[in-house]
Structure 1
Amino acid sequence: MTLSLSCFIGFRFSYGRSRRGMLSLIAVISTLGIAISIAVLIISLSAMNGFERELNQRVLAVVPHCEIEPVDQNWLQWKTALQIIEMVPGVAAAAPYITFTGLLESDSHKLAALQVKGVDTCLERRISSLSSYLQGSDWEKFLPGQSQVLLGKGVTERLHVNLGDWITMIVPYQNMEHKLSKPKYVRLQVTGILNFGGIRDYSLAYIPIIDAQKLLKIGNNITGIAIKAHQPFEAESLARQVGDRIDASVFLRSWISTYGYMYHDVQRIRTIIYLAIVLVIGVACFNIVSTLMMAVKDKCFEIAILRTLGAGDGLIRAIFMWYGVLLGGVVGSIIGISMGVLLSLKITSIMHVLEHLTGCRVLSGEIYFIDFLPAELQWFDVLMVFMASVALSLVATWYPARQAIRLQPAQVLSRQ
């Protein structure tokens, strides 16, 4: 009974008429301040979730989790090493690869220097989702001996080439004495365009591994072996285990050494945002303190009457606690969560529209691993923000409620 009565009176205090119009204005400003703070925090958390999702899907799904490269460039026993690697616990699959630097030239005399990677089409599908970034059956048609090349979308835009066009690849050649000689020129047809939506679109080209071996005249040799791990975040320890199993001097490298900074940056920013949740909403809740202090003065006559009718300290305290919670923790939170959820679900489309109108790219694919602003709404984050808002609004009511309890009914009523 006391709880329902205090809630009812607190609701009337919050949304009933006030003797001072300024009090209503300050209450509205306080509510909007909390709402905007909550909306911004939900959008920020959704953006961080989106970056983490894209990191897992676009980077970890394509980049090898571990790479093993021999110290001696002549690694003719790699097939035996491949079988040993796949038997190591934690290894999901492994595939050989060849990498070298090439210069691509289109018929319009546009140039692009990038890393060319030779892959085995059958084994590569086991360690990466590279084929999912091609259209139709382009991956199945990617066969050795056909003078084919797969290019990123950014490279095709830079070279002004389309699917089916021919380009010239210039490859520096090293003889057995590791001296540069006349470069090789080879004509290749663009049979597939990879659309990763990020920096990899501008830096990679793929050819069949057999064609790469013939082009470089290295026989059955390879550059290294790429490994897919069951647990990508344990890639460094897995690489060391694989190195211990192989009877050869090798270089060990994991995705954490090349792309791990992205994941750490996302986690660091997420931690900062969690801290900002408390600080920003806490600052907004200071407005509730000033609003409630003005409400105590505005409602002193009503408080005195309640005291005369027998209301105790607990009831008066509960009334102003409900007043503050309804003002900021409930109404402000609901408005802020509604705004944040709606904008988080549409933030990618909104940014595309703004980029189209302004002509400026927020995230350039030539610099970042994605070229759009992602967002993924998680209801746990929404619940956490709501609970933090309610808790801080509740804390903000303590001092005003204490001042309301100290009011003397006789002194207040004698002034009326």
Structure 2
Amino acid sequence: MSTALSFFLGFRFSYGRSRGGMLSLISVISTLGISISIAVLIISLSAMNGFEHELNQRVLAVVPHCEIEHINQNWVQWRIALPMIEKVPGVAAAAPYINFTGLLESSSHQLAVLQIRGVDAFPESRISAVPSYVKGSDWKDFLPDRHQILMGKGVADRLHLKRGDWITMIVPDRQSKRTLLKPKYVRLQVTGILNLGGLRDHSLAYIPIIDAQKLLRMGDNITGIAIKAYHPFQVASLAKRVGDSINADVYLRSWISTYGYMYHDVQMIRTIIYLAIVLVIGVACFNIVSTLMMAIKDKCFEIAILRTLGASDGLIRSIFIWYGLLLGGVVGSLIGVSMGVLLALKITPIVHILEKFTGSCFLSGEVYFIDFLPSELHWLDVTVVLLTSLVLSLMATWYPARQASRLQPAQVLSRQ
């Protein structure tokens, strides 16, 4: 009964008529501060969730989790090592590859230097999601002795190429012992465009591994073996086990050494954003203190009447706790959550519209691993943010409510 009564009186105090307009202004400002802070926090956390999701989809799904390269550059007995590697617990699949640097020249005489990767289509599809980023049957038709090349959309756009165009690839002659190396010129047809939507679109191209072996005069040798792990975040220990399983001097390299900083950055930024915005929410919530202190002065006559009618200290405290929560905490939190959820669900198309309107790109694919602002709303984040706001609002109401319960009705009524 006392809880219902305190809630009812707190509601009437919050939304009833006030004697001063300044109190209403401060209440609105406090509510808006809480709302905007919560909305910004939800949008920021959703953006961090989106970045983490895209890292999983566009980096870990495409980049080999671990790479093994022979210390002598050319791996002769890799066919013996490959089945041994696949038997190591934790290894999902393995595939050979050849890496080298090539200079591409388009028909318009534009140049681009990028990493060329020679792969076998079927084994590569077991360790990488690259085939899913190629249109149609381009990956299935990616066969040797056809002068084919698959390249990223960023490279294709830079060289003004489209599917079916021919380019010239220039590579050094690795077998030459002369001081001045005579480069090789190879004509290749663009048979597919990779649209990963990020940094790798601007730095990578694929050719069949057999073509790479012939081009570099490597015979049956390869550069290394790429590995897909069942548990990518445990790849450090897996790499050690793989190295111990083969009888060869090799270099071990995992995705953590090349892309792990992205995950650390996302987690660090998420923590910093959460702490910073929670402090902002705290400042906005503690505006409730000044609002309630003014409200107590405004409602002192009503408090005195309640005390003369037998209201206890606990009831007065409860009334003003509900007053503060309803005035700023609950309303501001609900408005902020609603704004944050709606904007978080639509932030990607909103940013696209802003980019078209301003003519600028917020995230460049040549710099970042993606070229758009992702967003992924987690309801657990929304719940945590809402509870944090309510707890801070509750803490802010405690002192004013305690002061209200200490008012002496005789002193107040004697002044009326």
Normalised-by-shorter TM-score class: over 0.9
1:284 matched residue in structure 2: 284
Q: 1:177 offset after TM fit, Å?
A: 4.2
Query: CA-to-partner distance for each residue in 1:132-173, whole Å, 9 max, x for gaps?
Result: 001111111111110000010010111111110000000111
2:21 matched residue in structure 1: 21
Q: 1:47 offset after TM fit, Å?
A: 0.3
* Correspondences of 1:252-263 after superposition (within 5 Å): 252-263=252-263
Gaps of 5+ in 2: none
2:223 maps to a residue whose letter is T
Q: Secondary structure at 2:286's aligned position in 1?
A: helix
Query: CA-to-partner distance for each residue in 1:194-240, whole Å, 9 max, x for gaps?
Result: 00100101000100000000100100000000000000001111111
Q: Secondary structure at 2:17's aligned position in 1?
A: coil
Is the counterpart of residue 389 in structure 1 residue 401 in structure 2? Answer: no
Q: 1:274 offset after TM fit, Å?
A: 2.5
Decide whether the 8 Å contact of 1:277 with 1:385 is kept in 2. Answer: no
Distance, in Å, in 2 between the alignment partners of 1:174 and 1:329 is: 70
Root mean square deviation of aligned Cα: 1.0
1:79 matched residue in structure 2: 79
Distance, in Å, in 1 between the alignment partners of 2:277 and 2:29 is: 19
Distance, in Å, in 1 between the alignment partners of 2:221 and 2:363 is: 39
Count the aligned residue pairs. Answer: 416
1:328 matched residue in structure 2: 328
2:368 matched residue in structure 1: 368
Decide whether the 8 Å contact of 1:173 with 1:180 is kept in 2. Answer: no
Decide whether the 8 Å contact of 1:329 with 1:386 is kept in 2. Answer: no
* Correspondences of 1:9-408 after superposition (within 5 Å): 9-175=9-175, 177=177, 181-408=181-408
Gaps of 5+ in 1: none
Is the counterpart of residue 4 in structure 1 residue 13 in structure 2? Answer: no
- Which shifted more, 327-336 or 260-269? 327-336
179 and 70 in structure 1: CA distance in 2 versus 1, 3 angstrom threshold = farther
Distance, in Å, in 2 between the alignment partners of 1:176 and 1:82 is: 30
Q: Secondary structure at 2:181's aligned position in 1?
A: strand
Q: 1:252 offset after TM fit, Å?
A: 0.4
Q: 1:178 offset after TM fit, Å?
A: 8.1
- Which shifted more, 340-349 or 324-333? 324-333
Decide whether the 8 Å contact of 1:328 with 1:390 is kept in 2. Answer: no
Decide whether the 8 Å contact of 1:90 with 1:230 is kept in 2. Answer: yes
Identity level (%): 76
Query: CA-to-partner distance for each residue in 1:82-108, whole Å, 9 max, x for gaps?
Result: 000000000000000001000000011
Q: 1:277 offset after TM fit, Å?
A: 4.0
Query: CA-to-partner distance for each residue in 1:315-334, whole Å, 9 max, x for gaps?
Result: 00000111111122210011
TM-score normalised by length of structure 2: 0.99
- Which shifted more, 276-285 or 356-365? 276-285
365 and 74 in structure 1: CA distance in 2 versus 1, 3 angstrom threshold = closer
TM-score normalised by length of structure 1: 0.99
Decide whether the 8 Å contact of 1:328 with 1:389 is kept in 2. Answer: no
- Which shifted more, 212-221 or 67-76? 67-76
Q: 1:414 offset after TM fit, Å?
A: 1.3
Decide whether the 8 Å contact of 2:175 with 2:217 is kept in 1. Answer: no
Decide whether the 8 Å contact of 2:133 with 2:195 is kept in 1. Answer: yes
Distance, in Å, in 2 between the alignment partners of 1:181 and 1:276 is: 57
1:312 maps to a residue whose letter is S
Q: Secondary structure at 2:43's aligned position in 1?
A: helix
Distance, in Å, in 1 between the alignment partners of 2:180 and 2:309 is: 100
Query: CA-to-partner distance for each residue in 1:228-274, whole Å, 9 max, x for gaps?
Result: 00000011111111011110100000000000000000011111123
